[in-house]
């Protein structure tokens, strides 16, 4: 079993930055890809970013490309999401997830989920 715990959310002004962390325990962290998803008020959960098991390959949703950076430290069993130039539309609960199989952009492809951390961007 894998446990994921997010941290680092909070309230920030437009244009500000936050770094989210997701600490993993359980199954070997370095053996699987990780993703970040978010769910805004009244919206479906959506893909934000993904990173492969060794941290070399990443991909992003168009809405965050150039502003967000996903990274991982396998020695610390942690994945990060650096968020810069934040906008009010980035307000959401952010979830990290451990990949299982299928499309990296599909929530159904991820087997393990954290409890989420709230990010609120004020205008």
Give CA separation, 87 vs 8, 24, 68, 84, in Å. 17, 28, 12, 9
For residues 108 and 83, give the distance between their C-alpha atoms in angstroms, rounded to a whole number: 24
β partners of residue 10:
119
The fraction of the chain above a pLDDT of 70, given in percent, is 99
Is the distance from CB of 48 to CB of 81 less than 8 angstroms?
Answer: yes
> What 8-state DSSP symbol labels residue 116?
-
For residues 92 and 26, give the distance between their C-alpha atoms in angstroms, rounded to a whole number: 27
Summarised one tens digit per residue, pLDDT across range 51-84 is: 999 999 999 999 999 999 999 999 999 999 999 9
Model pLDDT, residue 27: 67
For range 85-102, the mean pLDDT? 97
Output the six-digit token pair for 48: 């934000």
């Amino acid at each position: 079993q894998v446990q994921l715990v997010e941290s680092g959310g909070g309230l920030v002004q437009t244009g500000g930055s936050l770094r989210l962390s997701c600490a993993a325990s359980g199954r070997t962290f370095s053996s699987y890809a990780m993703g970040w998803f978010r769910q805004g008020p009244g919206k479906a959960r959506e893909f934000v970013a993904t990173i492969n098991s060794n941290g070399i390959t990443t991909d992003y949703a168009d809405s965050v490309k150039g502003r967000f950076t996903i990274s991982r430290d396998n020695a610390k069993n942690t994945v990060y999401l650096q968020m810069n130039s934040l906008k009010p539309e980035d307000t959401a609960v952010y979830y990290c997830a451990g990949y299982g199989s299928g499309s990296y952009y599909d929530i159904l492809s991820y087997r393990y989920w954290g409890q989420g951390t709230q990010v609120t961007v004020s205008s």
